Structure 1
Amino acid sequence: MKTNILILSAMFCSIVGFSQKSEIKAAEKALKSGDAMAAKSSLESASSLIDAADEKMQAQYYFLKGKAYSELAKKGTSDAFDEAISAFRKVVEVEKVSGKSKYSSEATGNLSSMTVDLVNSAVEDNNNKRFKEGAEKLHLGYQLSPKDTIYLYYAASSAVNGGHYELALDYYNELKDLNYDGSGIVYKATNVETGEVEEMEKTQRELMVKSGAYKDPIDEKTASKTTEIVKNVALIYTQLGQDDKALEAYKDARAKDPKDVNLILNQANLYYKMDDKDKFKTLMAEAAEVAPDNPDLFYNIGVINMEQGNIEEARDAYKRAIEINPGYVNAQLNLSTTYVNEGNGLIDEMNTLGNSKKDITRYDELKEQKDSLFRDGAIILEDAVKQNPDNQGLLTQLKNIYGALGDNENFMRVKKLLGE
């Protein structure tokens, strides 16, 4: 009886092996005819027992699986790239153990060519705003070709564009761990026939210049991306609400490039978000020294001084912003508002005064000061309207000032300009 059982078992194994070979052969045939989906289906039928097969059959199976999935990947099948890469790597692994290399060379070649397919597919994903898919494919491309660190950099950028900040952070931290710089040299030469400057590989350029088809070779060094990476890490931490980590990242970034005005501004904005107005003010002043012709800097310095009650400093900042950009409406409105607010501040005291001669005299003094401040605010807006005659915000505030002054003539003039 035992003998019969053994014979049946052996027969069963033989049938399984035959079935696997049949499915693998069917997959091979399907691939030759260009039907990757049919090949995938045949391979799935053989997959459950492939681990029990001999190494020769395993290598063939994984090789065909890699080819099937790489074809499906080109056609846009989700996760096909991962499956193809895993399969081709398994080919090399199996044949390394067996000591044979029937498929390893071609599998390795397919892995190399898949890098190009991944990048092309990622570009298409990004063009169609599938940023996460594009980022993951670029990261896979980098894993397949670690020397091409630029793919990892682009993967992080793609993730940021899609708002996938935690994924981007992982990629940026990989770049930091690699001490990625991103700088390089671009080789250019002038096309003699067209007169246009063209970019090409170094060796190709040398040959083209020697041939006389190109002239005036130029080597241009591209900027380092280190500061940009650290800055983006800080921005992501800010976006994720991890302010302490963001501050550390800004500290690292500014150590590398202390004069980068965008870094200073981003760091200042973080302190503003954290309600540290003094630190914000200090950094904005530092930024103004680095970029003395940036009107937005002075506008923001004016805003924070205005919030802190430093009226004269706020006015100086707004005036500088307007000096740089004469049509800066928000700065003009805020500058006018500093005078209106100061005038309004006198009204409280005016309302506390009585009817004595002394109080009446004081009331008249305060009223004149208030009206003078309101007129100063109006003068600023009148000048601003000359630059932006249709700006509703300027005209509305100007109308309100004339109304508060009791200047009915100018009130009606501006009201007419507003179309009321």
Structure 2
Amino acid sequence: MKTKLFILAAMSCTMVAFSQKNELKSAEKAIKSGSAAEAKAAIESASALIGSADEKTQGQFYFLKGETYAMLAKKGDASAFNTAIEAYNKVISLESASGKAKYTAESKQKLSGMTADLVNAAVEDNNNNKYKEAANKLYLGYKLSPSDTVYLYYAASSAVNGGEYEQALGYYNELKDLGYDGSEVKYTAVNVATGETEEMNKTQRDLMVKSKTYKDPKEEKSPSKSTEIVKNIALIYTQLGQDDKALEAYKDARANDPKDVNLILNEANLYFKLGDKDKFKSLMAEATALQPDNADLFYNIGVVSMEQGNIEDARNAYNRAIEINPGYVNAQLNLSTTYVNEGNGLIDAMNSLGNSRADIAKYDQLKKQKDDFFKKGADILEQALKLNPDNQGILEQLKNIYGALGDNENFMRLKKLIGE
């Protein structure tokens, strides 16, 4: 009886092995025919007992599994990339341990090709505004090919574009720890026949110049991306409300590029948020000392000051921007708005007054103040209109001010200029 049981068990094992081999043959056939669904079904059917299979069969199974999920990934199943990568790596691990490398070389080749597939899929995702998906794929591409650190850089950029700030922060910190520079050298020469400047690799460029079909060889190194990386780390910490980490990151960023004015402005804004107005003012002074004739800088200072409620500082900054660039429309509009807003701020007080003689007198006083603010705002835009007579933003805002003042003559003049 014991012998019979032993024979039955042996027969059972043989049948299981035979079934697995049939499933693997089915998977292989489906892969060759391009039927990913059939291959997946066969692989799933064979997977239940693969742990008990011999090393050769396991190697074949995981290779075919990698092939199947790589095909699914190419057909648009983004989740299949990870499974394919894990399967190919399993092949390499198994065969390394056994010393039999039947599928190892091809698995490594497939993994290398999958990097290109991931990058191409990520480009398509970015084009379709699927930024998180693009970031995930680019990061996988980087993990498959760690020497191509640029994939990690683009993964961070995609994450930022998708508003995935914590994900981007992780990537940027990894880039920083790696000391990623990202600068490249571009090699160019002028095509003698066409006169066009063309870019090529150094070896080809040198050969073309030597053949005298090209001339004027040049090399241009693109700026390092290290400053951008530390800057983005600081900005993301600010975005996430992690102020202490943001301040530390700004120190790193400023050490990397102490003359980056936008960086100074962002750091200044954070200090203002934290209530350190003295530090805010010193940083603003530092920025203007670096670029005393930068109209955009003074405009940005005006915007920051306006947002923080520092109206006089905002006006001084806008006036300086206009002094540098008399046709700076946005500075003129914002400067006008500071006066309109101050006038509007008196309306609640006016409406709260009663009908007593004192209240009526107070009302008249506040109304005059309000109208004076509105007129200052109008005067600024009338001056702006001389340099930009067709600017719709100026015309609309000026019309609204005259409407609020009850100045019907000027109101109708502006309506006519607008074409209403």
Bin the TM-score by the shorter chain.
Answer: 0.7 to 0.9
Partner residue, 2:397: 393
Q: CA separation in 1, counterparts of 2:73 and 2:374?
A: 70
Partner residue, 2:200: 200
8 Å CA contact retained: 2:121, 2:134: yes
Helix, strand or coil at the partner of 2:107 = helix
Helix, strand or coil at the partner of 1:187 = strand
Q: CA separation in 1, counterparts of 2:175 and 2:57?
A: 40
Q: CA separation in 1, counterparts of 2:72 and 2:310?
A: 65
Partner residue, 1:178: 178
Partner residue, 1:121: 121
Query: Under a length normalisation based on structure 1, what TM-score does the superposition of the two structures give?
Result: 0.83
Task: Report deviation, 1:299.
Answer: 3.4
Residues 145-178 of structure 1 deviation map (CA, whole Å, 9 limit, x = unaligned): 1111011101111111111111111111111111
8 Å CA contact retained: 2:269, 2:304: no
In structure 2, relative to structure 1, the CA distance for the partners of 1:398 and 1:292 (3 Å cut) is farther
In structure 2, relative to structure 1, the CA distance for the partners of 1:41 and 1:191 (3 Å cut) is farther
8 Å CA contact retained: 2:265, 2:301: no
8 Å CA contact retained: 1:385, 1:394: no
Task: Report deviation, 1:119.
Answer: 1.0
Unaligned runs of 5+ in 2: 351-367
Q: For 1:20-419, what aligned pairs fall within 5 Å after superposition?
A: 20-302=20-302, 311=312, 315-329=315-329, 331-332=331-332, 335=335, 379-389=379-389, 391-397=395-401, 411-419=407-415
Task: Report deviation, 1:60.
Answer: 1.0
Amino acid at match of 2:165: Y
In structure 2, relative to structure 1, the CA distance for the partners of 1:191 and 1:73 (3 Å cut) is farther
8 Å CA contact retained: 2:66, 2:87: yes
Q: CA separation in 1, counterparts of 2:376 and 2:163?
A: 46
Partner residue, 1:359: none
In structure 2, relative to structure 1, the CA distance for the partners of 1:66 and 1:303 (3 Å cut) is closer
Q: CA separation in 2, counterparts of 1:182 and 1:260?
A: 19
8 Å CA contact retained: 1:142, 1:151: yes
Task: Report deviation, 1:305.
Answer: 6.3
Q: CA separation in 1, counterparts of 2:119 and 2:414?
A: 56
Partner residue, 2:7: 7
8 Å CA contact retained: 1:396, 1:418: no
For the pair shown, the structure with the greater C-alpha radius of gyration is 1
Q: CA separation in 1, counterparts of 2:19 and 2:226?
A: 56
Task: Please provide the CA RMSD for this pair.
Answer: 3.3
8 Å CA contact retained: 1:382, 1:398: no
Helix, strand or coil at the partner of 1:258 = coil
Task: Report deviation, 1:187.
Answer: 1.9
Q: CA separation in 1, counterparts of 2:30 and 2:250?
A: 56
In structure 2, relative to structure 1, the CA distance for the partners of 1:399 and 1:328 (3 Å cut) is farther
In structure 2, relative to structure 1, the CA distance for the partners of 1:303 and 1:184 (3 Å cut) is closer
Query: Under a length normalisation based on structure 2, what TM-score does the superposition of the two structures give?
Result: 0.83
Residues 113-169 of structure 1 deviation map (CA, whole Å, 9 limit, x = unaligned): 111111111111111111111111111111111111011101111111111111111
Q: Percent identity among equivalent residues?
A: 65
Task: Report deviation, 1:412.
Answer: 4.1
8 Å CA contact retained: 1:63, 1:88: yes
Helix, strand or coil at the partner of 1:183 = coil
Q: CA separation in 1, counterparts of 2:184 and 2:371?
A: 63
Equivalences, count: 394
Task: Report deviation, 1:388.
Answer: 4.5
Partner residue, 1:365: none
8 Å CA contact retained: 1:230, 1:253: yes
8 Å CA contact retained: 2:156, 2:172: yes
Task: Report deviation, 1:379.
Answer: 4.3
Task: Report deviation, 1:293.
Answer: 3.2
Task: Report deviation, 1:236.
Answer: 1.4
Amino acid at match of 1:416: M
Partner residue, 1:357: none
Task: Report deviation, 1:107.
Answer: 1.0
In structure 2, relative to structure 1, the CA distance for the partners of 1:397 and 1:279 (3 Å cut) is farther
Unaligned runs of 5+ in 1: 349-367, 404-410
In structure 2, relative to structure 1, the CA distance for the partners of 1:160 and 1:304 (3 Å cut) is closer
Q: CA separation in 2, counterparts of 1:140 and 1:303?
A: 41
